[in-house]
Structure 1
């Protein structure tokens, strides 16, 4: 019986066919050229290296099983017995071929550039939630990955992949579906990030993608991205509302979308060491990493403990980026300077002239929030004179004020009105908001247990006093 699938689903599966079924043969040819004796020789000579990769959890248990179940019958083309992700790890470990961390130009047809493309499309196949590829992106991606695999494997590979994407038969479709699921399982197995934490990160990243629809690329954001390309560790400094958080989130989303970096949101320095995966492109991000309003002594001390380890990680990892945000007063504090002054941390000063938004950029950003018609009703000086511009735009976006122009003209009066309305109509909501302010947006769950107990015994008025 013929399997009936939509065109965009078939196109996605054909991409999987190239990356997961055709590419392993190309890796076999690649080892013939770049490893003395080819991959068969590597299987015999590099057993200690394979064990080291296993012990360091660079390869998973499932991939270790693949290596150990290759039989004499498979020796004609043992690469066919291994998944593409494992083959990429082995190429990096055994051949010395350098895979660039950044997307190569279309004119770059070097071996490293072609391996980058295979790895990029492997991540595309594994991480694409919808498991479909529409016409707009399919033909460009098909040409890109097919030519890369052909250059890696030669004419024999060209013949193997030379079949029209619409003609995958039922058996091939089922094989590709199974291979994709297998690769997804391998990718998620032995993930150093616990499942609940991974889900939390995914929720945050999805929320950032929604918020990012308002983001406007500026000269400053482009300059920060250039510094991220050049430096493993970048910190964005400035005052509250300067766009540190918004810009950092936009840039990690861009690294994920355009370069295939995995986004890892961390809270503590130890998590960088714990969640790091060698041979995996990762971008770590942390907001207000040494204190929100002032330098946090405990937090800085925790960073100091791990500093030597960080230096070693970043020295040997081209496929790792670390993006942090920090308020100016924290970054310039004596405690901070004492710990971080000798580190290779590049500072992007969003308050400096180089990163200052132009009047045109501010008006373009504001238009995203209030629309072009409302922008024409605002004097240019009003927008230009607003301090903490990004925070202001966010407040407007979260506000229920109907007259958006008035919000920009008289924000304090309108916010006071909203707070008074909340207090009059929903005392509990106002109370919770007050708690969030008092506790700097960090409420311990135990506090609510205590409040409930007091409320039950003494009544609501004593709750407010307590």
Structure 2
């Protein structure tokens, strides 16, 4: 039993004795309160002694103010005198001034020492209690961390996507979010978002450079906010493989059946798995949003992909095309105060958003010339690289074309196989680069072209936009067609080179001259 409980029990015992074993009348306010000064009955004096006894017993210190001590001593001494007579009064007076003998001093010292020990013990207990609380918090944090890690591990085990692929997807989505900071909301964006909410599969079509990929990614990020797991994929097999029945998934596919023309292999893959994908989409948790260039989507063979024809959002249609006010907002965002200078050219090109973006990265160009005929401006810039002796810069752009817009940095800094060396050496020759020029110089020149012609995705150099690559491919296809045919990637050749122009509006089709086609 602790000290507090002892004191409470003592108070109860005193009250019980007074009430049951004596005939003492209680004071006016009862035994639990200090009686009034005028109350001098035996019951009042007993209550008075009890009151002061409790004050001293519950006192936290071994000292008290002199005034309080004198008042308490006088009231207790008077009460004892009234209850015990003159002899008790005299004893109280003597006790007040009595000198402490050796025994009493030792007792007081022991009391004082005990109080100090109690104080130290209390401090030690407080420190240990604080340490225990801190340890408890650490344990709780560790437990919470373990629960989170356990939950993450459980999710990873349930996830059909390998963890390393998942990390790559997360990095790609972070890049989307960064690019999305400059995205300008349009009426077309709102319509596409409404369509994907209401339908299982939506295909966004437009000509190149009109912003369909940016729009698709923006809409996908909006769906992520509504609980969808966003998964960029490049082929239909990944949709089948990564389907997860316990998750809401939005698969995102860019140029799903080819970039410049219908890709037969991609077309067959989508055709063969169309029914399986349709079944998954009809189960509701799965959605698809896809982009496709109009010249690919309008190919006659695409009609057999009926499921992917059900909901098309054509960004060039009257309902979804950019309004004049939207084009003005885009121009003002990228061109700032120069926007008013090109207001009459808003409708000249479908790729107006891209032109604004490209000009903002190379604003030294003449803005009127650029927006009336942007590729003549770029042609002049590239021609100047060659005529003014910047042969390595010129070669850097040519190599981007040779490697089909995927020029890896490691090919310029590390040991490479003979095939890569040969392509670089032949391109050096075509661009009049001095033989023996270090590949590191070539890398430095590529870095210098970043933000004007080139961007760097991880360790791969690419043009800042597909539209610009279309132009570069056409430019170098005209300037060094023999070198391209002999050195460029086979995919590039099959997609870009034709023995005759298919359509009058195929402005970037590379037609193989008759004298070379005979050699082939």
TM range (shorter): 0.5 to 0.7
Deviations 1:57-84 (A, max 9, x none): xxxxxxxxxxxxxxxxxxxxxxxxxxxx
Deviation at 1:440, TM superposition (A): 4.2
Partner of 2:209: 241
> Does the alignment pair 1:274 with 2:241?
yes
Per-residue deviation, 1:434: 2.3
Q: Which of 199, 209, 216 is the equivalent residue of 1:231?
A: 199
**Structure 2 equivalent of residue 350 of structure 1:** 315
Return the alpha-carbon distance in structure 2 between the equivalents of residues 458 and 242 of structure 1: 35
Q: Alignment partner for residue 264 of structure 2, among 297, 319, 334?
A: 297
Aligned length: 294
Shift of 1:429: 4.1
- Change in Cα spacing, 1:194 to 1:436, as seen in structure 2 (3 Å) is farther
Q: Distance in 1 between matches of 2:298 and 2:425?
A: 49
Kept in 1, the 8 Å contact 2:391–2:431? The answer is no
Superposed, 1:132-211 pairs within 5 Å as: 171-211=139-179
Which of the residues 317, 322, 327 maps onto 2:288? 322
Unaligned runs of 5+ in 1: 1-167
- Give, in angstroms, the shift of residue 327 of structure 1: 1.3
Aligned to 2:329: 364
- 1:105 corresponds to: none
SS in 1 for 2:322: coil
Q: Check if 1:264 corresponds to 2:231.
A: yes
Report the counterpart of residue 335 of structure 1 in structure 2.
301
TM-score between both structures, scaled by the size of structure 2: 0.50
Q: Name the structure 1 match of 2:99.
A: none
1:411 counterpart residue number: 374
Does 2:433 correspond to 1:433? no
- Supply the distance in 2 between the matched residues of 1:363 and 1:287 (Cα, whole angstroms): 27
Deviation at 1:409, TM superposition (A): 5.6
Question: Alpha-carbon deviation of 1:389?
Answer: 1.7
How far residue 305 of structure 1 moved from its aligned partner, in angstroms, is 1.5
CA 178–431 in structure 1, closer or farther in 2 if over 3 Å, else same: same
- Is 1:308 the counterpart of 2:279? The answer is no
User: Alignment partner of 1:189: what SS?
Assistant: helix
Q: CA 1:270–1:369 in structure 2 vs 1: closer, same or farther (change >3 Å)? A: same
> In the aligned structure 2, how far is the partner of 1:264 from the partner of 1:456?
36
Provide the residue aligned with 2:70 in structure 1: none
Q: What residue number does 2:26 align with?
A: none
Instruction: Find the aligned partners of 1:388 and 1:457 in 2 and give their Cα distance.
Output: 36
1:140-197 Cα offsets, whole Å, 9 max, x none, are xxxxxxxxxxxxxxxxxxxxxxxxxxxx955544433332232222223353323443
Change (3 A) 1:384 1:184: same
What CA deviation, in whole Å up to 9, does each residue of 1:254-300 have, x standing for no partner?
111x2122221111110111111111122111111001111111111
1:455 and 1:463 in contact (8 A); partners too: no
Query: Deviation per CA, 1:109-132, whole angstroms, max 9, x where unpaired?
Result: xxxxxxxxxxxxxxxxxxxxxxxx
Assess, with a 3 A threshold, how the Cα gap between structure 1 residues 265 and 342 changes in structure 2: closer, same or farther.
closer
Corresponding residue for residue 338 of structure 2: 374
Query: 1:459, 1:320 → 2: CA distance?
Result: 47
Gaps of 5+ in 2: 1-135, 433-482, 487-520
How much has 1:350 moved relative to structure 2?
A: 1.2
For 1:387, the equivalent position in structure 2 comes to 350
Q: Deviations over 1:208-227 (max 9, x none)?
A: 22211121111110010000
C-alpha change, 1:462 and 1:398, in structure 2 (3 Å) is closer
| Alpha-carbon shift at residue 435 of structure 1 (Å) | 3.8
Contact 1:233 1:344 in 2 (8 A): no
Deviates more, 1:191-200 or 1:452-461: 452-461
Larger radius of gyration: 2
Q: Tell me, what secondary structure is at the counterpart of 1:214?
A: coil
Larger relative contact order (C-alpha < 8 A, sep ≥ 6)?
A: 1
* Counterparts of 2:424 and 2:397, CA distance in 1: 22
* Alpha-carbon distance in structure 1 between the residues aligned to 2:162 and 2:418: 30
Check 1:204–1:400 CA distance in 2 against 1; reply closer, same or farther (3 A cut).
Answer: farther
Cα distance, 1:237 vs structure 2: 0.9
Q: Given the two structures, how large is their TM-score scaled by the length of structure 1? A: 0.56
Q: Which secondary structure does the structure 2 equivalent of 1:259 belong to? A: coil
Distance 1:429 1:196, change over 3 A: farther
